[in-house]
Structure 1
């Protein structure tokens, strides 16, 4: 299962999200979206097209960190745990 974590290091939600993934021993590709323009564009394409970001956009949020697993996108660690079959 291919997974990608889109994040910004300075975002206060990133560290706890990453710590939670580490607890789950879950492997993923880390994409820091402010590292370069290619990473930023990759995230924006996903954000513009995936419905998981709709509520975040409506409320004025970026939608970070965001974990993409296949076609699914998760903005909340509890949803990731449910998807992977782990108890919260």
Structure 2
């Protein structure tokens, strides 16, 4: 419902925090389709996600934070293929970062 309200306002930037958490597969697909449409019509989307698959499907750019510190900003494809920071490499490998 919140995405439908946002769509009526046609925002320049849309901030989302884990927009598909606790949704079933169909719900996730519908939200991702809506976000893709927002993006295609010029809305900049800034969102958090712990879902690598979703980040790969939707992101143009990754902003990687660790302990509140900006560690890496890079195109999404490069982030997943060749992360520049030790923290990002460890995160992608599934290592716990403390």
TM-score, normalised relative to structure 2: 0.27
Q: Higher RCO, 1 or 2 (CA under 8 Å, sep at least 6)? A: 1
Higher radius of gyration, 1 or 2: 2
TM-score normalised by length of structure 1 = 0.29
